[in-house]
Each structure stands twice: as structure tokens, then as C-alpha cells.
Chain A
């Protein structure tokens, strides 16, 4: 069946512009996670959704970052006024329920801020 999909796969933007990243989780998965992976670094937790609500926003690095999820499905991660240090691969994962540990990852969006 279809896995987690993300779009775009690559995004190049200029410093100061806003970008929007999209994640389509596996159908029926209620939990959705956003991570960031900078070059040579591990995965950094950004935010977690259970349904449409985000009980844990502690990982968002600044108020330029926001995320929403609608209909318990698609999620968008928005970065406003991008900075060069925002350049990274942004990964989305979903799991069947909040209690399920198996996270299925998407292929990621590679963001480059010039």
C-alpha cells in the first residue's frame, strides 16, 4: 500500500521567503511527526500531532516554524522568513495510533535556503 509521501522532494528558496512543506501520512494513521535532519546530524524532533491537535510543540526551533494538520490527515510545516540555518532535510513520519511505536517515514523534503 501507499506509504508516507512528502512534497516537494526538493526546495530551493531565498533567505527571507516563506516555504510550506507537505506530508501525506499513511491512511488511517492518527499520529504524525515532523523531524529535521541537518547535514551530518541525527533526526531532530520538531512536532507531533495526534489527530489534528499538537500536544507537544516543544521541538519547534523558533516562532518562524509552525505546523498544522487538517482532517486528521495531511499536515503542512511552514517556515516563515527562512534563514540559511533552516537548510536541512525535513522528514515526516506517521504511526497507527499514539500508542504504537512503529513510525513509518516519508522520503523527506530537502530544503536549501540560499
Chain B
């Protein structure tokens, strides 16, 4: 089956700096890669996603890049703000409705 690894497990940045979270996957059949933000006491929210036929996608301060050859994808957050502090999860979809998740990255943005 698919195996998704996520690094780092914790990340602390100064407000205004950029944050990068990386994930690798094992199965080349994976074709869809969403990123979720999980805040304490709230459900996880989809913040950005990318399909395997695209190399990069950007939405305001958030971007995701995908390298299919190397089987890794990354989340980039620029101009970080304290409200970006949360746990971020990457995921890879291999079957139509089965998702494999990374172990999460706790991002702390210091004001």
C-alpha cells in the first residue's frame, strides 16, 4: 500500500517568514495530493490540493509543488501570520476514495 512520510514534525518560524513542509509518497499510482489544516477543536480544512498532472499550484500565500519523479510534494506558506499556527497534514490518494495521510506538522508562528 501507499506510505506517506511528512517532515518536519514541528516547525517554528517568525511572523513574516516562510514555512515549508515536505511529504514523500511511495506509490507512483497516487494521483491527488491535498493538504489539510487542523486547528484545535475544529475539523480539518482543505487548504490546497494538487493533481499529478500539475507541477505547482498557488493560492495567495499558499503554494504546493509536486515532483512526480522524486515522489514528493511540498507546502509553502509565505508571509506567515500567527493564525497560520496549526497542524498541517498532507495526503496522497491512490484509489478513488482512499487517502493516506502523513503524520502531521505542528507549525508555530511566533509574533
Binding site for B on A (CB under 8 A): 3-4, 31, 33, 35, 40-45, 48, 50, 56, 59, 91, 93, 98-99, 101-108
Interface-side segment among B11-19, B38-46, B65-73, B76-84: B38-46
Please indicate the chain A residues that have their CB under 8 angstroms from the CB of B49 in the complex. 101-102
* Chain A minimum-CB-distance residue to B51: A101
Kindly identify which residue among A42, A103, A106 contacts B4, using a CB–CB cutoff of 8 Å: A42
A/B interface sample: 30 pairs, CB < 8 A: A3-B43, A4-B43, A31-B97, A35-B101, A40-B103, A41-B103, A41-B104, A42-B102, A43-B89, A43-B99, A43-B101, A44-B101, A48-B97, A91-B44, A93-B43, A93-B44, A99-B96, A101-B32, A101-B34, A101-B49, A101-B93, A102-B34, A103-B46, A103-B99, A104-B46, A105-B43, A105-B44, A105-B45, A106-B43, A107-B41
Q: How many residues of B contact A (CB 8 A)?
A: 27
Please indicate the chain A residues that have their CB under 8 angstroms from the CB of B24 in the complex. none
Total A-B Cβ pairs within 8 A: 63
Which B26-62 residues have C-beta < 8 A from chain A?
A: 32, 34, 36, 38, 41-46, 49
Other than the given A45-B99, A56-B98, 18 more pairs (CB < 8 A) read A4-B43, A40-B103, A41-B104, A42-B4, A42-B6, A42-B101, A44-B101, A48-B98, A56-B97, A59-B98, A101-B93, A103-B34, A103-B46, A103-B99, A105-B36, A105-B45, A106-B43, A107-B42
